[in-house]
Chain A
Amino acid sequence: MIEVEHIEKRFGAFWAVRGATFRVDRGEAVGLLGPNGAGKTTTIRMITGFLPPDAGHVRIDGKDILNDSLAARACIGYLPESTPLYPEMTVQGLLQHRARLFRIPRRERRAAVDRAIEQCWLTEMRRRRVGHLSKGYRQRVGLAAAILHDPPALILDEPTNGLDPTQITEMRRLMRELAQDRAVIVSSHILSEVEKTCDRIIVIARGAIRANSTIETFGGGACPRCILEAKIDDQTAASAFGDALRALPGVSNVDLESLADWRRFVLTPDVDAPPIAERVGKVVLQHDVVVRELRQEAPSLESAFLELIARADIEDQA
């Protein structure tokens, strides 16, 4: 549905996007994730035809965004960042205006506007001026304008920006609903946002794609860390116990923290190492220490994301 092939964009000497390639199929919601200034909005602007790529191709439903631009743009519903709208128009008037721009036939226009208003919970606000609405409602109007023509591809740039928690939950529900029969790209710098609404994550940093995987496999399926809290009063004994853990096969690092009467050992496994908790248990028995907690902690999306970004920074500086 949305095919992006080796797109590049440069502003002077600055590479905004370098060789981005990915595709999003119908029924799939993909999160475009990256820190501020990573190239997310530029990528989205190239997909929507607002900016032409310096190189590469974008196709929406098989239509090239440059060579068959109007047809490709007709397939896209787009909610730009910060939801720019005409403040002097009423909600209904603005949607009718958008319906005319998207060439919705006159006899279907009213039904399309009513449907979008209902889907975005705007019924009570339909006669209010957009400039008099709260940020949350404006966001909904922007979304209603994006889905008005029932597009097969939906692109939402920071859709939950400025919404309160209830509105965020409603927006997420709506996004999941919309993704059932559409190709959806959600751009965000908020990890939990993407985790809750998308099936797949594309991480972009310094203009290049650093990861493209499902939520479950994101982070490369790294082994979970092992966290152990034990009561060891003597510093020497604690060090010896730490050394014993470090000597275990598959353990790459052990960090020691003191917590009042307890000590916390955080064991980081080698890449592709088998789970280490069992072997840690054996060491505990050998040293006969009192343990109050031994648990495995899967690497969070956040830590995997931060690691990717840090790696991108290092590669870029190199």
Chain B
Amino acid sequence: MTQLLAISRRELAAYFRTPVGWVVIALYLALSSVVFAFLVLAPAEPASLRPFFGLSGWLLMFIAPAVSMRLISDEIRTGTIESLMTAPVSDWLIMIGKYGAAVAFLAIMLLPTLAYPATLEALANPDFGPVLAGYLGLALAGMLYLSIGALFSALTASQTLAFLGTLFTLLLVRLTTTEAIAQRAPEPLSSALFAISIDQRLSGFARGVISTGDVAFFACVSIWLVVLSVIALQSRRWR
């Protein structure tokens, strides 16, 4: 446990000791506050955070690759991977510790946005069910995006490649599984596209519906991708 926490702590601190972490948080808060101010607090609109969750779902597709790209790539590029992988720490702990730090960073980034439901509560009487479900959806989507990023980061020494690989994969998955495209695809591809549609599942959370299937989907895919990342990290020893 000490080792896991040591890895997570160093990784999380590194986000805040370099400008990257601060810039990502600042940009996200700036964009989300614009949406909150102009779309959520708009007159005659219902007291709902759906526009904020909708935008955040898309913003995370760009933020998560920026957060995850350095996880392993940076260690490979600078050579610190050699010190890390020759310490008495298993590859599982290395990957889980680093992935945990990236998830913690996203959580810290989302924390100030709790001011939005608080503001809404002061001005109107929002239903907190969809708000809680919306945050859960964001957190689960963020974890899924970060696990894709962790896999790409374990595969290359280039942070740029890790970023682009993650971003294009996310765009590909999200675009090809939109209703417009999935409907036009022949069966059984159409059903498969609907089944892996992140949009569909996130819209359920935004409506306040927490489905076990959706939670299990995000959790299982994230876990599998982290397992693949560990295998990718282990494979570095054999290359």
Report which A residues bind B (CB closer than 8 A).
45, 48-52, 70-71, 73-74, 76, 78, 80, 82, 84-86, 88-89, 97-98, 100-103, 145
In the assembled complex, B191 has its CB within 8 A of some CB on chain A: no
CB-based contact B88/A103 at 8 Å = yes
| Chain A residue at smallest Cβ distance from B11 | A86
A86–B88 touching, CB < 8 Å: no
Which residues of B1-54 are within 8 A (CB) of A? 2-3, 5-7, 9-10, 13-14, 17-18
Interface 9-residue window, one of B75-83, B103-111, B168-176: B75-83
Q: In whole angstroms, how far apart are the Cα atoms of A97 and B84 in the complex?
A: 11
Which residues of the other chain, A, contact B237 by a CB distance below 8 angstroms?
50-52
Given contacts A84-B78, A88-B14, A88-B18, contact A100 B6 (CB under 8 A): yes
Question: Does B90 make an interface contact (CB < 8 A)?
Answer: yes
Are A101 and B3 in contact (CB-based, < 8 A)? yes
Residue pair A74, B88 in contact (C-beta under 8 Å): yes
Residue from B81, B86, B237 with most neighbouring chain A CB atoms (10 Å): B86
Residue numbers in A under 8 Å from B85 (CB-CB) = 49-50
Expressed in whole angstroms, the minimum distance between the Cβ of B44 and any Cβ of chain A is 49
Contact A50 B10 (CB under 8 A): no
Closest to B80 in A: A84
Interface centre among A50, A70, A145 (most CB of B within 10 A): A50
Q: Mark B87-129, 1 if CB is under 8 A from A, else 0.
A: 1111000000000000000000000000000000000000000
- Flag if B88 contacts A73 (CB, 8 Å): yes
A314 to B49, CA, bound (A): 76
Q: Which residues of A contact B82 (CB under 8 A)?
A: 45, 50, 78, 80, 84
B79 touches A80 (CB 8 A): yes
Q: How far is the CB of B166 from chain A (nearest CB, A)?
A: 23
Interfacial chain B residues near A49, Cβ < 8 Å: 85-86
Are B87 and A102 in contact, with the CB atoms below 8 A? yes
Whether A70 lies near B90 (C-beta < 8 A) is yes
Q: Smallest CB-CB separation from A74: which chain B residue?
A: B88
Chain B residues whose C-beta falls within 8 Å of the C-beta of A71 in the assembled complex: 88
Separation of A48 and B87 alpha carbons in the complex (Å): 9
Q: Which residues of A contact B10 (CB under 8 A)?
A: 86, 89, 97
Q: Top 7 A-B pairs ranked by shortest CB distance?
A: A84-B79, A100-B6, A88-B17, A74-B88, A48-B86, A73-B88, A84-B80
Q: Known contacts A70-B90, A101-B89; is A78 also within 8 Å of B2 by CB? A: no
Nearest chain A CB to B74 CB, angstrom units: 10
A54 nearest in chain B by CB position: B238
List of B residues within 8 angstroms of A82 by Cβ: 79
- Residues from chain B with a CB closer than 8 A to the CB of A84 are 78-83
In the complex, which residue of chain A has the Cβ closest to the Cβ of B87? A101
Query: What's the Cα separation between A154 and B89 when bound, in Å?
Result: 18
Closest to A41 in B: B82
Chain A residues closer than 8 Å to B89, beta-carbon distance = 70, 101
Q: Is the CB of B83 within 8 A of A70?
A: no
- A98: chain B residues at CB < 8 Å are 87
Contact B238 A52, beta carbon cutoff 8 Å: yes
Partner of A70, one of B84, B88, B238: B88
* Pair A50/B18 contact, Cβ less than 8 Å: no
Interface residues of B in 147-194 (CB under 8 A from A): none
Q: Are A50 and B86 in contact (CB under 8 A)?
A: yes
Chain A proximity of B19: nearest CB distance (Å): 11
A84→B238 CA distance, assembly (Å)? 21
**Contacting pair A73 B87 (CB below 8 A):** yes
Task: Report whether B3 and A103 are in contact in the complex, using a CB–CB cutoff of 8 Å.
Answer: yes
User: Which of chain B's residues has its CB closest to A101's CB?
Assistant: B87
Provide the residues of chain A in CB contact with B2, threshold 8 Å: 100, 103
Extra 4 A-B pairs, beta carbons < 8 Å, given A74-B88, A76-B86? A51-B237, A70-B88, A89-B17, A100-B3
Q: How far is the CB of A106 from chain B (nearest CB, A)?
A: 8
Contact residues in A for B17 (Cβ distance below 8 Å): 88-89
Within the complex, the shortest CB–CB distance from B84 to chain A, in Å, comes to 8
**A151 CB to closest chain B CB, in angstroms?**
10
Tell me whether A97 and B6 are in contact in the complex, defined as CB-CB below 8 angstroms, given that A80-B83, A84-B82, A88-B14 are known contacts.
Answer: yes
Distance from A255 Cβ to chain B, minimum over Cβ atoms (Å): 47
Expressed in whole angstroms, the minimum distance between the Cβ of B100 and any Cβ of chain A is 15
Inter-chain CA distance A305–B11, complex, in Å, is 45
Instruction: Point out the residues of chain A lying under 8 angstroms from B81, CB to CB.
Output: 84
Residues of A within 8 A of B5 (CB): 100
Q: Which residue of A lies closest to B10 (CB)?
A: A97
Task: With a 10 A CB-CB cut-off, give which of A49, A82, A86, A89 has the most chain B CB atoms.
Answer: A86
Contacting residues, chain B, for A145 (C-beta < 8 A) = 83
A82 to chain B, nearest CB (A): 6
Minimum CB–CB distance for B238 against chain A, Å: 7
